[in-house]
Every structure is written in structure tokens, then in C-alpha cells.
């Protein structure tokens, strides 16, 4: 005897189905309705519907919930995300933290350094109760205060450059892959040309050109330097992201749901915004978290070469550039900004790797 789960909770519907398939003999007033199943064993027959216990319904999970469940199980990515959140909070409230700390990042304390060598007095770069990580050589500026202020500079520049490359790469990649033909060939050729240009030489050329004029497009001084770095990083990085988006759209535009939207008369704008973009959010989020640390390192490299943020604005790359003259006598001045860069980039990479695994359809739910 085998049980059959009820296909309806309405008794009249069940009785109508039994009557149509098995005749009136199967319907008896003194017994619950039964259904006779065809089977290899003629002795196999039915069981009443009411004897079957209800099973719990299987709940469907969206891609976001599946990715969130995978991400929570990845302890390394969770740790990286927590460290990343802490760094973002430090950068967002850097002014308030320096006020609580009691030190200004641009305040000089020349009395704490030697007039002859410029090396801070005391051990480990002048660490004391007032200066927790010591002071800079020669001018005596507090290292911890400048690290806190430099976190905002690095994250603002790298985050804005990522948004620029994300916008340019997404728009160009979607248009090239969706329309194809001459548009795709033109955008692919543009990607190839831009990828052949060395970003460092482009940065040096732009700096030499803009150095001839004190202002450009209403920007001058520090704002012009920051905008120049953002343009160099964002414009130089969008071809990589555009190729990724193009490849994703090429695989998505042949899917059944895209063809169904076209057959229903949906416009190109609606298909791109409602069908393609939601499916691109996962890969774009992963690429974003992996691009920000690269831009942080690139900004530090440009600052190390004297391109970008100018003193007295604090920058981790600028601190590393100054530390090359004192790293033998004062290694703490080199270690502190280097450690800040290492921890920040490592946190971004760990969290980005966790996001990539979470959105991977081949991973275990």
C-alpha cells in the first residue's frame, strides 16, 4: 500500500477527479475518497488522502540570500569585512578622532626632534604618552594623527576613482555587448588602445601640462591635484572593467528571459535596466571590492613620485615618500604607513575574495 499526497485541499475537487477517472464505484459515502494507482503489482492500491500528513513547503532562496548565507560561513571574509568597516569608520570620522586624540596632523613639534639629524628623541621614533606612534623626523608632526587623516585621503581618492571607472566601464561594456556589430568593434578597439597607454607616463604628461596653469576647469591647488589623480586612476582603469562587463552581457543576452522580454515588446532601455543590470550587480560588486585596493596602492605610488596630493595634506603614499630619507635611522616612520597600507589592502582583498566565492554559482549553497 502506498500513500499519495493530496493535490487539492478541496473535497469536491478530489471527488470529481476520482469520479472522472475511476467511476462512481470508487465513491462510497461511508469511506474517504480513494484513488487507485496503476502499478506493476495489482495488489498495490490506494490510501485515503486524509491519512497523509502535510509536509513543510520548500522555501525558495534568491541569489542575494544564497550569497549572504555563503558569505556568513566564510570566516576569513567576515574578518576582512569587519576590518574594512573599521577602516571606513576611521576615515569617515578622522577629524573627530584626531580631536579626541588631542593632536593635529599638520601641527609641528620641532622640539621633539634633533636639530642636527632631524631624528626624533627617544626610542621607536619618539613614542610617548602624547604621541602613541611617535613623530615625523625634522618637523615632529604626529604620525598617528597623520595616519588617521591619510586614511580619508586614500579612501576618498580610491573610492571616487572606482566610481568613475565603474560608470564608464559599465556603460561602455553594456552598450558594446548588447548592440554588437560596429559598436562592439569600436569599443573593443578603444579598450585595446587605452590599455596600451602607460598610466604613469600619462600622469607625468598631465602634471607637466597642468603645471603651466594655476587653475583648470575651476579647480586649483589641492582640489586640482586630487581631481588629477582621480582622473588618471579612473580613466586608466575603466577598460579592464568594461571588458568584464562586456563578457557578462554577451553571455546574458542569449538567455531565455532576454528573448522573452524582447518577444513581449520591451524596449532596449527596459531590458538593460530591468533584466541585464540586476544580473550584473554581483560581478560588479566583486570587481569593485577588488579594484579599490589597487587604486589605493596606485595613489600611494603616485604620491611617492610626487604626483597628486600635496603637503601639508596627509597621505600614506606621501609619508612613504618622505620615509625613504630616514628609514635607516627611524624605521618606525616607514613601518607605520606601510602597515596601514598592508592591512587596508589585505582587508579589501579578503572581503573581495569572499564576495566572489559567494556569488559563484558553482559554490555550495
Confidence tier at 54 by pLDDT (50, 70, 90) = low
Confidence tier at 342 by pLDDT (50, 70, 90) = very high
- Please report, rounded to a whole number, the percentage of residues in the chain having pLDDT higher than 70: 77
- Range in 65-79, 139-153, 236-250, 309-323 with the lowest mean pLDDT: 309-323
**Segment 314-319 mean pLDDT:** 84
Q: Which of 277, 304, 197, 209 is nearest to 240 (CA)?
A: 197
**Segment 308-313 mean pLDDT:** 76
User: What cell was used for 298?
Assistant: 596606485
Residues 27, 101 within the same domain: no
> CA 248 to CA 252: how far, in whole Å?
6
Residues 111, 43 within the same domain: no
The residue that leads in pLDDT, 47 or 149, is 149
Residue 135 pLDDT more than 80? yes
Confidence tier at 180 by pLDDT (50, 70, 90) = confident
Residue 171 pLDDT more than 70? yes
In a domain, 57, yes or no: no
Confidence tier at 280 by pLDDT (50, 70, 90) = confident
Residues 17, 97 within the same domain: no
Q: What are the φ/ψ torsions at residue 265 (nearest 5 degrees)? A: 90, 20
Residues 106, 175 within the same domain: yes
Q: What is the pLDDT of residue 13?
A: 54
Q: How far is CA 274 from CA 169, 277, 281, in A?
A: 19, 6, 12
Q: What is the pLDDT of residue 94?
A: 92
Which is it for the CA torsion 228, 233, 237, 238, positive or negative?
A: negative
**Segment 1-24 mean pLDDT:** 51
**Segment 78-101 mean pLDDT:** 93
In a domain, 169, yes or no: yes
**Segment 263-268 mean pLDDT:** 86
In a domain, 235, yes or no: yes
User: What cell was used for 246?
Assistant: 562586456
Q: What is the pLDDT of residue 211?
A: 59
Give CB contacts under 8 A, 24+ apart, made by 187-192: 187/242, 187/246, 188/246, 190/239, 191/239, 191/242, 191/243
Residues 31, 70 within the same domain: no
Residues 237, 206 within the same domain: yes
Q: What is the pLDDT of residue 364?
A: 60
Residues 113, 34 within the same domain: no
> CA 88 to CA 84: how far, in whole Å?
6
In a domain, 365, yes or no: no
SS3 of residue 30 by DSSP: coil
User: What cell was used for 313?
Assistant: 595634506
Alpha helices in the chain (DSSP H): 11-22, 63-73, 75-92, 94-101, 143-179, 181-196, 199-210, 221-252, 256-263, 268-270, 277-304, 316-323, 331-358
The residue that leads in pLDDT, 42 or 364, is 364
Q: What is the pLDDT of residue 37?
A: 45
Residue whose C-alpha cell reads 549553497 in the numeric block:
365
Residues 88, 163 within the same domain: yes
Residues 176, 38 within the same domain: no
Confidence tier at 47 by pLDDT (50, 70, 90) = very low
Q: What is the pLDDT of residue 88?
A: 93
Q: What is the pLDDT of residue 4?
A: 44
Q: DSSP string covering 154-168, please?
A: HHHHHHHHHHHHHHH
In a domain, 87, yes or no: yes
- What mean pLDDT is reported for the chain? 79
Q: What is the pLDDT of residue 36?
A: 43
In a domain, 6, yes or no: no
Name the domain count of the chain: 2
How many Cα atoms within 13 Å fall on the side-chain side of residue 194?
Answer: 21
Which is it for the CA torsion 19, 24, 29, 35, positive or negative?
A: negative
Residues 175, 135 within the same domain: yes
Select the highest-mean-pLDDT range: 110-119, 148-157, 277-286: 148-157
Q: Are 153 and 225 in contact (CB under 8 A)?
A: no
**Segment 154-171 mean pLDDT:** 91
**For residue 318, what are the domain limits?**
65-358
Residues 235, 102 within the same domain: yes
In a domain, 4, yes or no: no
Q: What is the pLDDT of residue 51?
A: 47
- Range in 8-22, 123-137, 298-312 with the lowest mean pLDDT: 8-22
Confidence tier at 61 by pLDDT (50, 70, 90) = low
In a domain, 201, yes or no: yes
Q: What is the pLDDT of residue 60?
A: 60
For residue 175, cis peptide bond before it (omega within 30 degrees of 0): no
**Segment 136-159 mean pLDDT:** 90
Residue 227 pLDDT more than 70? yes
> CA 113 to CA 140: how far, in whole Å?
6
**Segment 318-340 mean pLDDT:** 85
**Segment 185-210 mean pLDDT:** 81
Q: What is the pLDDT of residue 217?
A: 66
Q: Are 142 and 135 in contact (CB under 8 A)?
A: yes
Q: What is the pLDDT of residue 212?
A: 60
Residue 79 pLDDT more than 70? yes
Q: Are 74 and 354 in contact (CB under 8 A)?
A: yes
Q: What is the pLDDT of residue 91?
A: 93
The residue that leads in pLDDT, 60 or 129, is 129
> CA 338 to CA 341: how far, in whole Å?
5
Q: Which of 203, 208, 247 is nearest to 229 (CA)?
A: 203
SS3 of residue 113 by DSSP: strand
> CA 287 to CA 252: how far, in whole Å?
18
**Segment 22-27 mean pLDDT:** 52
Bridge partners (DSSP) listed for residue 196: none
Residues 81, 216 within the same domain: yes
Output the domain CATH number for residue 304. Answer: 1.10.3720.10
Amino acid at each position: 500500500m502506498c500513500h499519495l499526497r493530496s493535490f487539492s485541499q478541496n473535497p469536491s475537487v478530489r471527488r470529481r477527479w476520482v469520479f472522472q477517472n475511476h467511476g462512481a464505484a470508487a465513491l462510497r459515502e461511508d469511506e474517504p475518497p480513494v484513488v487507485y494507482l496503476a502499478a506493476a503489482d495489482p495488489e498495490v492500491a490506494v490510501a485515503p488522502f486524509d491519512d497523509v500528513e502535510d509536509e513543510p513547503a520548500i522555501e525558495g532562496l534568491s541569489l542575494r540570500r544564497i550569497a549572504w548565507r555563503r558569505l556568513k560561513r566564510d570566516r576569513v571574509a567576515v574578518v576582512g569585512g569587519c576590518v574594512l568597516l573599521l577602516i571606513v569608520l576611521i576615515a569617515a570620522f578622522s577629524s573627530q578622532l584626531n580631536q579626541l586624540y588631542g593632536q593635529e596632523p599638520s601641527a609641528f613639534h620641532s622640539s621633539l626632534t634633533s636639530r642636527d639629524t632631524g631624528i626624533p628623541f627617544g626610542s621607536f621614533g619618539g613614542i610617548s604618552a602624547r604621541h602613541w606612534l611617535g613623530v615625523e623626523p625634522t618637523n615632529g608632526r604626529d604620525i598617528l594623527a597623520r595616519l588617521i587623516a591619510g586614511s580619508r585621503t586614500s579612501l576618498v581618492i580610491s573610492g571616487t576613482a572606482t566610481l568613475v571607472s565603474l560608470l564608464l566601464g559599465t556603460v561602455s561594456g553594456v552598450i558594446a555587448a548588447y548592440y554588437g556589430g560596429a559598436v562592439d568593434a569600436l569599443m573593443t578597439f578603444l579598450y585595446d588602445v587605452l590599455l596600451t597607454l602607460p598610466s604613469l607616463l600619462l600622469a607625468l604628461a598631465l602634471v607637466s601640462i597642468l603645471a603651466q596653469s594655476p587653475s583648470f576647469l575651476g579647480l586649483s591647488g589641492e582640489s586640482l591635484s586630487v581631481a588629477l589623480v582621480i582622473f588618471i586612476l579612473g580613466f586608466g582603469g575603466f577598460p579592464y572593467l568594461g571588458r568584464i562587463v562586456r563578457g557578462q552581457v554577451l553571455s546574458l543576452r542569449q538567455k531565455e528571459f532576454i528573448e522573452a522580454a524582447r518577444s513581449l515588446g520591451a524596449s532596449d532601455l527596459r531590458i538593460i535596466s530591468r533584466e541585464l543590470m540586476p544580473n550584473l550587480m554581483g560581478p560588479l560588486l566583486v570587481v569593485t571590492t577588488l579594484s579599490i585596493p589597487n587604486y589605493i596602492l596606485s595613489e600611494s605610488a603616485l604620491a611617492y613620485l610626487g604626483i597628486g596630493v600635496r603637503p601639508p595634506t596627509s597621505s600614506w603614499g606621501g609619508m612613504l615618500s618622505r620615509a625613504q630619507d630616514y628609514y635607516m635611522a627611524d624605521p618606525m616612520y616607514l613601518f607605520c604607513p606601510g602597515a596601514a597600507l598592508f592591512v587596508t589592502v589585505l582587508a579589501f582583498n579578503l572581503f573581495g575574495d569572499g564576495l566572489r566565492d559567494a556569488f559563484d554559482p558553482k559554490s555550495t549553497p
